[in-house]
Amino acid sequence: MADTTPDQIAPLLTTEGWELLASLGPYSEKDAFSLNDSLRKAGHSPDLVSAVLTQSRLRTRAEAKFGEFARQMLFTQAGLEQATRLTVAARHADRFARAGVSHVADLGCGLGADSMALASLDIRVTAVEKDETTAACATINLMPFPHASVVHSDATSVPLDGVDGVWLDPARRTTSSSGTTRIWDPEEFSPPLSFVESLADSGRAVGVKMGPGMPHESVPANCEAQWVSVGGDVTEVTLWFNAVARRGVRRAALVLGPQGAAELTSGEDFDGGPAAAVGPVEGYLYEPDGAVIRAGLVADVAAQLGGHLVDEHIAYICAPQFHDTAFARAYRVLKVMPYNVRVLKAWVKDNGIGILDIKKRGTAVTPEELRRQLLPGSKATAKGRGTKTATLVLTRIGDDRVAVWAEPV
């Protein structure tokens, strides 16, 4: 889907446009056509109707990240994709507040999520955005905060006089008429990682949000790297420099879930830390959170659980006892079988299994294809399908492929 254009924002920056947008309820795809027709019949121009419906759709999608604040904000398609969730932005802002930072330059502010969080803590914010349409949206989004201002400029050319903190969320996508494409090389980001490091060299408190797949070898040596997962999805790795980096913390996994926040930290570099033992699949199988895996802290979790890895190269942990932990999903091991389609078909039939959740790690097996092989799929054969639900974990132990029948705890 193509990104939001200036023509889709400009009509909203009028009294008629803003009031019409505010009058709409949550966006519904099935009602969009009839709503379009009724708004035009009411005398609104086609351009305004198109802009209002586009923005209504984006606002509805944005509620997952911004909650009720989304109803008063403006969005672009690309900006929403990369925007920080407000719950995470609040944690970014808290770092700067705790460090005593008084003026933050948000370079590449996008739609202004992090600027909003910073300004809500009475920190002065200069929000800088290169894209004109996105800068216009950020201006609207930051209007309730007197301590925040938006500058339409390139992030690398803005004077930083009087600024004692810098936050960056580099653009990691390119936009074209067919949509957006992810960029992987940190030096191709806008601004690049080398620019971030130059800011840190000035002694300022610097934080930068990067993609969670950032390789360990690309993480600068003089920072703290914190991977963050929200509801099981790894959303970012944040690099913290100088006053906003915690003493004695080199890498961390922050897990945000329904029960609150939990964090695991290590002062060791990525090639350090404890070495986990390797042992059999037994007792309880633990699937570490993605942030734990990205931060290289799987062995640390295994030590907490009194457990071991099932293979030294695969992030599955087993322990004889159950331990409630925010850092891993737990399963009770019911049976360990060799990976053999014939054997698994017999297992499905013997146990009356009709719904199969397949998880995998360390094997090239495609869960969807295996599910089709194991469960009767046609109307004729589905009559013989069982009714039980089961979880099957596929993995590798050395050179052997195994299938673990496991029950979620």
User: What is residue 187's predicted lDDT score, i.e. its pLDDT?
Assistant: 78
Has residue 271 been placed in a domain? no
Task: Give the end of a domain, one of 235, 266, 297.
Answer: 266
Task: Give the end of a domain, one of 40, 59, 75.
Answer: 75
Do 115 and 230 lie in one domain? The reply is yes
Q: Measuring CA to CA, which residue among 168, 152, 158 is closest to residue 107? A: 168
CATH number at residue 236: 3.40.50.150
Query: Using the 8-state DSSP alphabet, how is residue 279 labeled?
Result: -
User: What is residue 71's predicted lDDT score, i.e. its pLDDT?
Assistant: 94
User: What is residue 292's predicted lDDT score, i.e. its pLDDT?
Assistant: 98
Do 204 and 330 lie in one domain? The reply is no
Do 39 and 135 lie in one domain? The reply is no
Q: Note the Cα 346 to chain centre separation in Å.
A: 39
Do 351 and 207 lie in one domain? The reply is no
Do 55 and 172 lie in one domain? The reply is no
Task: Give me the phi and psi of 104, to 5 degrees please.
Answer: -110, 135
CATH number at residue 283: 3.30.2130
**Collapsed DSSP state (helix, strand, coil) of residue 56:** helix
Do 248 and 202 lie in one domain? The reply is yes
Task: Give the end of a domain, one of 204, 235, 266.
Answer: 266
Give dist(CA 130, CA 123) in Å, integer.
22
> CA–CA distance from 311 to each of 46, 170, 297 (Å)?
61, 37, 15
Do 157 and 94 lie in one domain? The reply is yes
Q: Are 239 and 208 in contact (CB under 8 A)?
A: yes
Do 40 and 97 lie in one domain? The reply is no
Domains held by the chain: number? 3
Do 173 and 252 lie in one domain? The reply is yes
Do 168 and 96 lie in one domain? The reply is yes
Domain extent at residue 50: 6-75
Helix, strand, coil percentages, rounded to 5, for the chain: 35, 30, 35
User: What is residue 354's predicted lDDT score, i.e. its pLDDT?
Assistant: 93
Do 159 and 248 lie in one domain? The reply is yes
User: What is residue 179's predicted lDDT score, i.e. its pLDDT?
Assistant: 61
- Residues 185-214 as b or e (16 or more Cβ within 10 Å = b): ebeebbbebebbbebbeeebbbbbbbbbeb
> CA–CA distance from 20 to each of 42, 48, 53, 405 (Å)?
11, 9, 10, 55
Task: Give me the phi and psi of 260, to 5 degrees please.
Answer: 115, -150
Do 242 and 317 lie in one domain? The reply is no
User: What is residue 404's predicted lDDT score, i.e. its pLDDT?
Assistant: 97
The structure's pTM equals: 0.89
Q: Report mean pLDDT in 10-residue bins for the chain, 409 residues.
A: 71 93 92 94 94 95 94 93 93 98 97 97 97 94 96 94 95 64 75 93 96 94 97 96 98 94 97 89 97 97 96 96 96 97 95 95 94 74 70 94 96
